[in-house]
Structure 1
Amino acid sequence: MTKYLFEANYVGEGIKGLMRDGGTKRRDAVDEALKSVGGSLESFYYAFGETDVLGIFDIPDQADAVALSLMINSTGAVNLRLKPLMSPQDIDDAAQKTPSYRAPGQ
């Protein structure tokens, strides 16, 4: 499972739907969407300012995350952004690798 940080903003009809349905029902909708692709919701918070909603979820693989993001964004009611999260061990593993690279102009 991969963890993702999600950030979302309600847009147009999405704002009206949030006002009509309430925050709990929208969180439940996210939870059900994640379950449909084998994922689970770790945390879910509302905020104000630059971001309306943020949280963390686990999902089996990148393709499931992209499929869910495409489906949600295609509604036009929510602008969803995902960021994959890495553990300290993931960084340790990456630091042990030695890729080849030539910088521009060298």
Structure 2
Amino acid sequence: MAKYLWRVSYSPEGASGLLAQGGSARRAAITEMVESVGGHVDVCYFAFGEDDLFVVGDVPDEVSAAALAIRTAASGAAFSHTVVLLTPEQIDEAVAREVTYRPPAQLS
């Protein structure tokens, strides 16, 4: 399964729901949502700043990640940004892979 970081910002309506239900209830709802597509939540942290919440977990594939993003956006309660996370070993594999590439400066 692929590992993801979800950066979440609440709308005013979402923040009101958080005030009413609390952080633990929100974490439980997020965990239930991710598990409903066959995934797993590793950590869930609330934060100060541009993002209100960070969630790290995994889901089976990109379609599952897209389903979560669409449902979150459709609710209007939160705005989510999905980031694919790679292990150091995956980067080792990527840098070892042969790629044909010509930089723009070498257009001759």
Q: TM-score range by the shorter chain?
A: over 0.9
Residue 96 of structure 2 corresponds to residue 96 of structure 1: yes
More helix by share: 2
Deviation at 1:55, TM superposition (A): 2.3
Letter in 2 for 1:72: T
Tell me how far apart the structure 1 counterparts of residues 26 and 4 of structure 2 sit (CA, whole Å): 18
Letter in 2 for 1:20: A
Report the equivalent of 1:76.
Answer: 76
- Measured against aligned partners, the alpha-carbon deviations of 1:6-38 in whole angstroms (never above 9, x if no partner) come to 110110211111111111111111000011100
Tell me how far apart the structure 2 counterparts of residues 68 and 94 of structure 1 sit (CA, whole Å): 27
Report the equivalent of 1:10.
Answer: 10
Deviation at 1:57, TM superposition (A): 0.7
Taking structure 1 as the reference length, what is the TM-score of the superposition?
Answer: 0.95
- C-alpha RMSD of the superposition: 0.9
Secondary structure of the residue aligned to 2:43 is strand
- Measured against aligned partners, the alpha-carbon deviations of 1:39-63 in whole angstroms (never above 9, x if no partner) come to 0110001111121100211111111
1:1-106 maps to which residues of 2 (within 5 A)?
Answer: 1-106=1-106
Q: How many residues align?
A: 106
User: Unaligned regions of 5+ residues in structure 1, if any?
Assistant: none
Tell me how far apart the structure 2 counterparts of residues 37 and 25 of structure 1 sit (CA, whole Å): 19
Tell me how far apart the structure 2 counterparts of residues 52 and 105 of structure 1 sit (CA, whole Å): 41
Give the fraction of aligned pairs with identical amino acids, expressed as a percent: 40
